[in-house]
Amino acid sequence: MSTHSIAFIGTGVMGRSMAGHLLKAGHTLHVHNRTQEKAQALLESGATWHATPGGAAAQADFVFTIVGFPQDVEETYFGPHGVLAQARPGAVLVDMTTSSPALAQRIATAAAAAGCAALDAPVSGGDIGAREARLVIMVGGEETAFLRAKPLFEVMGKNILLQGSAGAGQYCKLANQIAIAAGMLAWCEALVFARHAGLDPARVIESIGGGAAGSWSLNNYGPRALRGDFAAGFYVKHFLKDMRLALESAAAMKLDLPGLALAKQLYDEVSARGWDDCGTQVLFRHYAERA
């Protein structure tokens, strides 16, 4: 694989690992993050720091962004010191944040006007998938840009599919989050039930985790929750954002999604307890204490 000059904007829980894989693959890396401290390990490994998203983008053939919320994406791309103001003509701009499909379409239109190409490519797999370079990457945009970026996606993930035109990656990720939302309720309820029945919930996971009830969330988040480890692999506040986006999209389609609505209600209760910066597995604690 040929090497490239890459900008990576957003070096949080997942972005730090993703950018690190690109750096280890031999690419030149230009980074920006709101908090420079979170990029320090990358800087020590040879990445170059930039004070603004646009400053990093100006040096790059490919620009990757993974930030928190749609308003952060908006500022990162459309702000006065943003990506679109300074990106090189011909660059491929890839937003990997879970964000609004409509915003992804706006970015694609603006990128084309600036002589660039844009992809929306949100990911699934959490901190573990990011560290182990086996993320699921769901992509929307033009096939030509997708094929250019695919070798770089392959450095960060294993399951990489073009879902359709601009915004399609975001719609796919929202479908993913809808499925996860109900699944989080399911394993939390199952383990609380098992505990109250006098069983060892960890042993229960050993039995049911390999059968029809098994899921990535049960097998990865369940043991963490039982240990009282509620550190964020994926923040509650970000999951709530995703569920809001999914419910807004469903409403626009005139769809009723009661399972998603219930999950959102329960995570709102988790948020009200001050647990926004915990991992999504903290829902188990909420269930256990309610019981």
- CA 154, distance to chain mean position in Å, is 16
Helices (H) and strands (E) in the chain, counts: 14, 9
Q: How many other C-beta atoms are found inside a 10 Å radius of the C-beta of residue 233?
A: 20
Residue with tokens 């990865």: 220
Amino acid at site 97:
T
How many Cα atoms sit within 13 Å of 229 on the Cβ side?
Answer: 9
User: Is residue 173 annotated as part of the catalytic site, yes or no?
Assistant: yes
Token code pair at residue 42: 């990358």
* Distance, CA of 35 to CA of 56 (rounded, Å): 15
Residue with tokens 């928190």: 68
Is the CB of residue 104 less than 8 Å from the CB of residue 95?
yes
Q: Which of 158, 173, 241, 254 is catalytic?
A: 173
- The residues annotated with a catalytic role in the active site are 173
